[in-house]
Amino acid sequence: MPSRNLLARELSVMLKAIAHPDRIRIIEELKLGALDVSALSVNLGVTPTRISQHLALLKAHRLVEERRNGRHHHYSLAERDLAEWILDGVPFIERRVASDIAAQQMIAVAKKLWRDDDPKTAN
């Protein structure tokens, strides 16, 4: 099945194109509607240059489309479903982050107990 390999390769390049915090935020923003570079810049707190660079990359991968209106370049999602799909991944992350925090708290508690028990570190 070479087609499986082909699809896996294509999927991996697309995921790499998406896998940047700024670009994920951009996709999330565009889910609500088209925006221009400046708007994205203030919304994300990122310089226009970087936004433009991210958008150029996303456009090269046909993940967003450009529509020029005067000097404003409005970008929108090339595929609506795509954004939905990405956002569907968020719950996994939320669970993950939540359990990370829980784990860290457990570790902190364990360390405290350990400290209080250990005559070497007790003062």
- Which residues of the chain form contacts with its own copies (CB under 8 A)? 4-16, 18-25, 28, 62, 79, 81-82, 85-86, 88-90, 92-94, 96-97
Collapse the DSSP code of 57 into the 3-class scheme (helix H, G, I; strand E, B; otherwise coil) and give the result. helix
Residue type, 35: L
Cβ atoms of 76 and 34 within 8 Å: the answer is: yes
Binding site partner of 79, from DNA, its own copies, none, Cβ cut-off 5-8 A by kind: its own copies
Name which of 11 and 108 has its Cβ closer to DNA.
Answer: 11
Helix axes 48-60, 37-44, angle to 10 degrees: 120
Nearer to DNA, 41 or 76 (CB): 41
Residues of the shown chain interacting with DNA in the complex, contacts defined by CB under 7 A: 16, 19-20, 22, 36-38, 41, 47-57, 66, 68, 70-73
Q: Which does 115 bind (CB under 5 to 8 A by kind): its own copies, DNA, none?
A: none
Cβ of 59: how many Cβ atoms within 10 Å? 14
Least distance to DNA, CB of residue 110, Å: 23
2 interacts with, out of its own copies, DNA, none, CB within 5 to 8 A per kind: none
Task: Return the bridge partners of 72, or none.
Answer: 69
Give the burial class of 52: count Cβ atoms within 10 A of its Cβ; 0-12 exposed, 13-18 middle, 19 or more buried.
middle
Neighbours of 120 (CB within 10 A): 5
Q: Which does 104 bind (CB under 5 to 8 A by kind): its own copies, DNA, none?
A: none
